[in-house]
Structure 1
Amino acid sequence: MTDQTIKPWAHENDVDSLYVPVYIVEMAKEVVQFYDFQVHHMTVMATKDKKGGAIWKIDTSDGPFSLKLLHRRPTHSKFSLGAQEYLVKEKKARVPTIFKTKQGKNYVEMGGKLWFIAEWIESLRPVSEDLEGTKKLCYALGEFHKLSKGYVPPAEAENISRLHRWPRTYERVEKKLGWFRDIANVYSDMPASSTILSYIDNFQEQAQQAIKRLGDSNYKEIVSKGTQEAGFVHQDYGWSNAQMGDEGMYVIDLDGVSYDITIRDLRKLIIDRMHSLEQWDINWIREMIQAYDQANPITDDEYELLLIDLSLPNLFYKNMKDIVYSPTTFMNESLAQDLQLIIELEKQKWPVLEELSKDRKGG
């Protein structure tokens, strides 16, 4: 058995997105020997080469399965695997069932990482990206969040929680916006610099206002209720990780789940949709919120936090945060063009948020 520690391999191959180093392929072959079936064929389906993760579809004597190499530290992965098993066994949720090893375990530890096998659901297909498909996605997200409540992780797992991190996250965004200004000033001759400098003061002020609003909200009261009451977020929810099967919508790829105020997943989905639509459409957002609310009723306090979270310059920050790694290559003409839409969207959202606040009493 190889004892080599698994490392990210993005630097090894920048052509083939499905490339996996030979030593990891050999580990995968060793891992499947811990299971009570014969493997006929293994196909790489996706990789996280920058983090050291991969997914295979394996054809076996017992049918198709997925084999997944989790890139996170083992104690973190034990939290997500426990969550996946909890959803299936205790809540009958539509998430892939974990297949046990010969020893009855949920995973195999090898190369300093956890590997696990789960059912491969052949019928899964993405829903449409129109409004009706988006509503199905939002309803399934609400179901997922509702069913996630009550989870207690295994004793050997970390307690993965972002519940108390909202203030720190907001403060980090505000601080980094200041860094973006400093970088744009230093590299003032780059194509995107003038655009950044024209709007960065406004975005930093919005972040400061969001910090204040969060402090004035019932955030502390919500998080004081603890992790089981909060449930957990998916963190990477979207069209690839929520798909339609013969029995309804399935949620897959749960390895990033964390305790949190679950409304944050919905915020991310709204931002993603508005970016794709290239406009802030209040009717879409209302329909998305209503679909989610049907499955998992949103309290007034959670609704307020949704609006506060939407008020951050999320889209601008998301598209700018890599500037700190290589300013001269990042602030090019392409970024300058992309920022035109992003800045327009950040402007458009304010009257929409104002209208949304009127949808709830006291909003």
Structure 2
Amino acid sequence: MKDIVIEPWLVDETTHEFFIPEYIIQLAEEVLKNYDLSVQNMQIVTTKPDKGGAIWKLETKSGPKSLKLLHRRPTRSLFSLGAQEYLVEVRKARVPPIVKTKDEKSYVEAGGKLWFVAEWIEPLTPVTKDLEGARKLCYALGEFHRLSKGYVPPKQAEMASRLHKWPKNYEKMITKMSWFRNIAKYYPEMPASPPLLEVVDRFEEQARKGMERFLQSSYVEFVKQGTAHWGLVHQDYGWSNGQMGADGMWIIDLDGVAFDLPIRDLRKLISGTMADLYKWDATWVREMILAYHEANPITPELYELLMIDLAMPNEFYKNMKEVVYEPEIFLNEQTAQLIQTIVETDQSKWPVLAEIENDWKGVG
């Protein structure tokens, strides 16, 4: 099995929810031979067929563990594994400890990917989807960011940093707005094309104004402070990846961690939560920011950048960018409805941002 390279696999209505190709199951069994574990049961709990990743829960004589097949390049996976070890061993953070192989390694390479075993933390329960739950989630995120400062990746790991990418991200957002417009014009008969054409100018204007404010911000000064100063962002943090354990909040699924300004995680969490509420709520936003600030203080300059990032048309862009790939499938009735929901939610955003804009003035 030495020459096997793991590839993404196809799933369709004939395959069950957690289908995994047989050769990957065999590789998983080979990988486990590197561990001093008496495995009584293996159960698949997550798959990423489009990327070639998976997670199993293992029942062993020494308690439950997880076996993860990481879908990223091995050098990129080394970055996140190094981060997980740093957080556990150096910073005593509540993230799952990695189980070492028989020869004291943190991972096994097989099929051109990295695999690792970690402790399965039990019990873990999602926090309640209310303001109190949101506060706990934000405090845990702030704690994670603070504890991740000072991380130095292993020498052979590739550098995963998004610290310098903010201007490019915003430029891409502005550029894609004209793509959306052109595609909607090209497919005028599709249900979502008229509503998309109706609103794209508004969101493009938001992005342009945001870019102007961003260029006046302290961003360049922040970047000069370097990666170790800022620490890591989770990149996929939310109600499933921050959960309550017996001794406090745990953060799981660290495969995508990268260096960045920490408020990017906070912004994603806030705008995603507001999208779930279908309206922006000043109390929620304020309390979420304050809870985060208690764990990882936000300076007035960083708060200003958070406000700029919140004001960008993030939800519109995130939900519309798929149109580029398969417009004739994407521009359907469902997308027309989604556009309406995004527009309605967006209208409630501006009074909230105006209300909280000056909360941090004179603080510091």
Q: Same fold (TM over 0.5)?
A: yes
CA contact (8 A) 1:97 1:119 kept: yes
3-state DSSP class of the match of 1:3?
Answer: coil
C-alpha separation in 2, matches of 1:14 and 1:102: 39
C-alpha separation in 2, matches of 1:290 and 1:15: 46
- Tell me the residue number matched to 2:338: 338
Deviations 1:164-217 (A, max 9, x none): 000000000111111000000000111111111111111111111111111110
- Tell me the residue number matched to 2:316: 316
CA contact (8 A) 2:11 2:19 kept: no
3-state DSSP class of the match of 1:358?
Answer: coil
CA contact (8 A) 1:223 1:230 kept: no
3-state DSSP class of the match of 2:33?
Answer: helix
Counterparts in 2 of 1:362 and 1:318: CA distance versus 1, 3 Å: farther
C-alpha separation in 2, matches of 1:177 and 1:343: 15
- Tell me the residue number matched to 1:50: 50
Matches within 5 A, 1:45-194: 45-194=45-194
Deviations 1:213-262 (A, max 9, x none): 11110100001100000111000001111100001000000000000001
1:303 is aligned with what amino acid?
Answer: Y
Q: What is the CA distance between 1:16 and its match in structure 2?
A: 2.2
- Tell me the residue number matched to 2:227: 227
2:52 is aligned with what amino acid?
Answer: G
Q: What is the CA distance between 1:10 and its match in structure 2?
A: 3.1
C-alpha separation in 1, matches of 2:20 and 2:14: 12
CA contact (8 A) 1:219 1:305 kept: yes
CA contact (8 A) 1:161 1:258 kept: yes
Residue 279 in structure 1 maps to residue 282 in structure 2 = no
Deviations 1:309-335 (A, max 9, x none): 111111111111110111111111111
Q: What is the CA distance between 1:61 and its match in structure 2?
A: 2.4
CA contact (8 A) 1:27 1:110 kept: yes
C-alpha separation in 1, matches of 2:158 and 2:73: 10
In structure 1, stretches of 5+ residues that fail to align are none
- Tell me the residue number matched to 1:202: 202
Counterparts in 2 of 1:14 and 1:208: CA distance versus 1, 3 Å: farther
Counterparts in 2 of 1:197 and 1:77: CA distance versus 1, 3 Å: same
C-alpha separation in 1, matches of 2:63 and 2:141: 29
- Tell me the residue number matched to 1:32: 32
3-state DSSP class of the match of 2:190?
Answer: coil
Q: What is the CA distance between 1:347 and its match in structure 2?
A: 2.0
Tell me which moved more, 61-70 or 162-171: 61-70
Structure 1 ranges of 4+ moved more than 2 A: 10-17
Give the share of equivalent positions with the same residue, in percent.
Answer: 58
- Tell me the residue number matched to 1:329: 329
Residue 212 in structure 1 maps to residue 212 in structure 2 = yes
Deviations 1:62-109 (A, max 9, x none): 221000000000000000000000000111000000000011111000
- Tell me the residue number matched to 1:304: 304
Q: What is the CA distance between 1:158 and its match in structure 2?
A: 0.7
Tell me which moved more, 262-271 or 346-355: 346-355
1:205 is aligned with what amino acid?
Answer: E
3-state DSSP class of the match of 1:238?
Answer: coil
C-alpha separation in 2, matches of 1:331 and 1:168: 27
C-alpha separation in 1, matches of 2:331 and 2:133: 35
* TM-score, structure 1 normalization: 0.98
C-alpha separation in 1, matches of 2:343 and 2:362: 29
- Tell me the residue number matched to 1:269: 269
Q: What is the CA distance between 1:30 and its match in structure 2?
A: 0.3
* TM-score, structure 2 normalization: 0.98
C-alpha separation in 2, matches of 1:183 and 1:333: 16
Q: How many positions carry a matched residue from both structures?
A: 363
